Amino acid sequence: MSTVKPGYVRPLDLKHGRVDLSHGGGGRAMAQLVEQLFVAAFDNEWLAQRNDQAAFVPPAGRMVISTDGHVVSPLFFPGGDIGNLSVHGTINDVAMAGAQPLYLAAGFIIEEGFPLADLTRIVRSMARAANEADVPIITGDTKVVEQGKGDGIFITTTGVGIVPDGVVISGDRARAGDRILLSGTIGDHGMAIMSKRESLSFASDLVSDTAALHGLVAAMVHAVPGIHCLRDPTRGGLATTLNEIAAQSGVGMMLDEAAIPVRPQVDAACEFLGLDALYVANEGKLVAICASDDAERLLAVMRAHPLGTRAAQIGTVIDDPHHFVQMRTRFGGRRMVDWLSGDQLPRIC
Amino acid sequence: MCLAIPVRVVAKPNESTALIDLDGVQKEISLELLDGVEVGDYVILHVGYALARLDPDEAERTLALFAVAA
Amino acid sequence: MKYIDEFRNGALAKGLAHAIAYEADTARSYNFMEFCGGHTHAISRYGIADLLPANLKMIHGPGCPVCVLPIGRIDLAIRLALEHQVILCTYGDCLRIPASNGLSLLKAKARGGDVRMIYSAADALQLARAHPERDVVFFAIGFETTTPPTAVVLRDAAREGVKNFSVVCNHVLTPSAIMNILESPHVRTLGTVPIDGFVGPAHVSTVIGSRPYEFFAEEYRKPVVIAGFEPLDVMQAILMLVRQVNDGRAEVENEFTRAVTREGNLKAQALVSEVFELRRTFEWRGLGEVPYSALKIRRKFGAHDAETRFGLAYTSVADNKACECGAILRGVKEPRDCKIFGTVCTPESPVGSCMVSSEGACAAYYSYGRFRDVAVRAA
């Protein structure tokens, strides 16, 4: 007489199993993966319906949509992983329009052979991040590619949000006389990643600053609805973001090096490798540009928020037909903070 | 050329290796090119090797020179 | 950061700037060459030019090992990666240098070459130990600061019998380069490049000491002040040079006393002599063939010399005709004088070596200083 429970399906071995091609094949194996891992972790009413799409009624206002592919290596780093990074990244992109993020969609491309234990860790991290941010992942997709055709896992997240009436935040709205504000220390994420790269590894307390910024943005927009620009300085760092805005708005900028907050350990790590913190990626910081009259109030609001305690005014927008971003150095001279060319590489010279 | 930085020796696992520290960032480096390095010394680090010891007295003297000129 | 931050103090900088302006004789001009690429980088990055008087000019010299590395040498590395399928180890600085056929080491990597960036020569040897089935080649560049680490790994490889490890040696010598500049007609006879003195390299000098420069001071009557790596060091050295010129002296002075002695690091020097010997001549990008200016691996360590092991024949490749790197490296021209500067030749698409390395004169000027060419009105 069989002692097996009727309807028993052998569960996925999340501890020791590996992803194989059948998990992306659309059949029973894939359904099981989706059910046992993704739906179980993300756990919300939309996923519970088990449709290929999710329906919702958008609140009134202008809708914002943003998408981001995440290919970070290593997948797990001090302070985060590709999972929560992908959630924060897209929430932040939506928030930079001044929008309240509503929902996320997530697409996974997984390489055959990827350990299920790692996938579980990543998915649970995403779930935690989404819950903490109160922005659910309501639909998704999974594909599996042959071994050698993917770097372990790639995650694409897409987010939608709503911009309140009267809020117009865009990279082309900076004007001469505006003040440039930064929400905190730069270079934390990029150097945390570097510290884990083979052959560059050094021991430190460097931790990624990955965080969802929509709460901070909401407080800022509430206090100063007329903010001109918001952007998070991710790849290419603060320098790249400021150059982008300068070009979009047709202005120049004058920064004050002494005002830019950098953690001593980040400074030290950059010294080791000959890198410039201005070009190192951040995943939990934002740049805000506002009229000079609003700067004091905006700064106070930022500093009152846990993600903006080290906020600072770092410069001014100026007239400049060449759209240069210049900086008064701590030393007293002036230099340009130019666009980055290619990836910043560690150097010996 | 030659990006090199002054770092503090915080440990010496053996005669040819040192653990150095710069503001909390630590790395293991080679002492193959420099004799007589002790814990607490400052060395000039270049591509993973200590090239010279930094003399703290001379450093102070140099800083004082800057101040005099000013 | 101790011994770093104090040497970047803005208040002291102001004081030194005043002192330099005060002591510089307004009736004449001062032209000093900073030999070392690290100093070029510091001058640009901290905006030191803003703190110097109008009659004092800094000329950027050829002390950038990436800038003076000929295209043909990079081609050797690329061939090793693509044709010989070695694990090609290189410092980050070399990855983007444009070589022949539109390739660079980075592009060779994209084409399937196993090119790996390392932080230390020791990493390359470690890779060789870990992969005995593969050939591992270390593409070694640098002046005298970077040469001793290469000597260490070659000695260790020979001692341990790491048969699959070899080195392409591109190490070059500072005094030879300085001599080449001082001997050039522009400096010696024509006087089109007036060089009143040299800011000597910081870290090269920790290894070779201050002694080698005494020859230049005596023979060519040019003052040399060895300067530390930080911006205050550079300014103090400039002040010391101004004083020497005013006094009519031509001596070797040491500003970097906290790390440089007259003798230098004897242990490192001995190891370098054990492992390397002088090449009779070596091509420097922009300077042409310079005698006794570079090192090659001694026969004793020949088993680890990649050039003989792989039978690599060096082919010289001419620079783009419009490229003025040669003149710029010798201080004859400035980046602005080059017809393709900032247009065809940019950090994204560098044509010549001065633009490739972030401390090359052109790259430093483009990235940090080109705003000086245009008047920008601050709001």
Tokens of B29: 């480096």
Residues in chain B: 70
Neighbours of A250 (CB within 10 A): 14
Q: Is residue A251 a contact partner of residue A175, using CB atoms and an 8 Å limit?
A: yes
Q: Give domain limits for chain C.
A: 5-64+176-254, 71-171+279-309, 325-373
Count CB pairs under 8 A between chains A and B.
38
Query: Given this model, what pLDDT does residue C197 score?
Result: 95
Q: How far does A34 lie from chain B, in Å, by closest CA? A: 42
CA-nearest residue to C66 within chain B is: B1
Binding partners of A (≥3 Cβ pairs within 8 A): B, C
Q: How far does C308 lie from chain B, in Å, by closest CA? A: 26
Tokens of A10: 């052998």
The Cα-based distances of A291 to A256, A296, A320, A322, C126 in angstroms read: 18, 10, 17, 22, 56
How much is the CA Rg of chain C, to the nearest whole Å? Answer: 21
Task: Say which residues have a Cβ less than 8 Å from residue C130's Cβ, sequence separation at least 6.
Answer: none
Test B2 with A348 for CB contact under 8 angstroms: yes
pLDDT tens readout for residues B46-65: 999 999 999 999 999 999 99
Which of A107, A108, A101, A123 has the alpha carbon at shortest distance from A56?
A: A101
Q: Is residue C163 a contact partner of residue C131, using CB atoms and an 8 Å limit?
A: no
Task: Say which residues have a Cβ less than 8 Å from residue C337's Cβ, sequence separation at least 6.
Answer: C324, C327, C328
Beta strands A252-256; A179-182: pairing state: unpaired
Test C142 with B2 for CB contact under 8 angstroms: yes
CA-nearest residue to A266 within chain B is: B25
Share of chain A above pLDDT 70, in %: 99
**Domains (ranges, CATH) in chain A?**
21-163 (3.30.1330.10), 179-336 (3.90.650.10)
Q: Is residue A112 a contact partner of residue A146, using CB atoms and an 8 Å limit?
A: yes
Neighbours of A293 (CB within 10 A): 11
Tokens of A247: 């070009």
CB-side exposure of C356: number of CA atoms within 13 Å? 27
pLDDT tens readout for residues C283-333: 998 788 999 999 999 999 999 999 999 999 999 998 888 888 878 877 788
Which stretches of chain C drop beneath a pLDDT of 50?
376-379
Query: Given this model, what pLDDT does residue A347 score?
Result: 76
Fold classification of C5-64+176-254 is Rossmann fold (3.40.50)
Best of B2, B33, B41, B49 to substitute, by most chain C Cβ atoms within 10 angstroms, is B2
Q: Is residue C334 a contact partner of residue C366, using CB atoms and an 8 Å limit?
A: no
DSSP, residue by residue, A127-179: HHHHHHHT--EEEEEEEEE-TTSSSSEEEEEEEEEEEPTT----TT---TT-E
Distance CA B40, CA A339 (A): 40
Which of A202, C38, C207, C227 has the alpha carbon at shortest distance from B3?
A: C38
Fold classification of B5-69 is SH3 type barrels. (2.30.30)
Domains C5-64+176-254 and C71-171+279-309 share a fold: yes
pLDDT tens readout for residues A252-292: 999 999 999 999 999 999 998 889 999 999 999 999 999 99
Q: Which of A264, A274, A349 sits opposite B24 (nearest CB)?
A: A264
Q: The dihedral of CA A173, A177, A183, A186: what is its sign?
A: positive
Neighbours of C131 (CB within 10 A): 14
Which stretches of chain A drop beneath a pLDDT of 50?
none
Neighbours of C262 (CB within 10 A): 11
Tokens of B27: 């790395």
Query: Given this model, what pLDDT does residue A199 score?
Result: 65
Distance CA A109, CA A89 (A): 18
Tokens of C201: 């390299």
Specify the 3-state DSSP secondary structure of A60: coil
Residues in chain A: 349
Task: Provide the H-helix boundaries in chain C.
Answer: 10-23, 37-45, 71-82, 105-110, 121-130, 147-160, 174-183, 185-188, 203-208, 214-220, 231-247, 266-275, 306-309, 325-329, 353-356, 361-364
Q: Give domain limits for chain B.
A: 5-69
Phi, psi for A156 (deg, rounded to 5): -115, 125
| In CATH, C71-171+279-309 is 3.40.50.11740 | yes
Considering only residues 20 to 59 of chain B, which have any Cβ-Cβ distance to chain A shorter than 8 Å? 22-27, 46-47
Q: Is residue A266 a contact partner of residue A188, using CB atoms and an 8 Å limit?
A: yes
Q: Is residue C233 a contact partner of residue C255, using CB atoms and an 8 Å limit?
A: yes
- For residue C352, the 8-state DSSP code is S
Identity at A98, one-letter amino acid code: G
Phi, psi for A79 (deg, rounded to 5): 95, -10
Distance CA C209, CA B62 (A): 18
CA-nearest residue to C360 within chain B is: B1
What ipTM score was computed for the predicted complex, to two decimals? 0.94
Q: Is residue A32 a contact partner of residue A9, using CB atoms and an 8 Å limit?
A: yes
Which of B46, A274, A107 has the alpha carbon at shortest distance from C41?
A: A274
Query: Given this model, what pLDDT does residue C379 score?
Result: 35
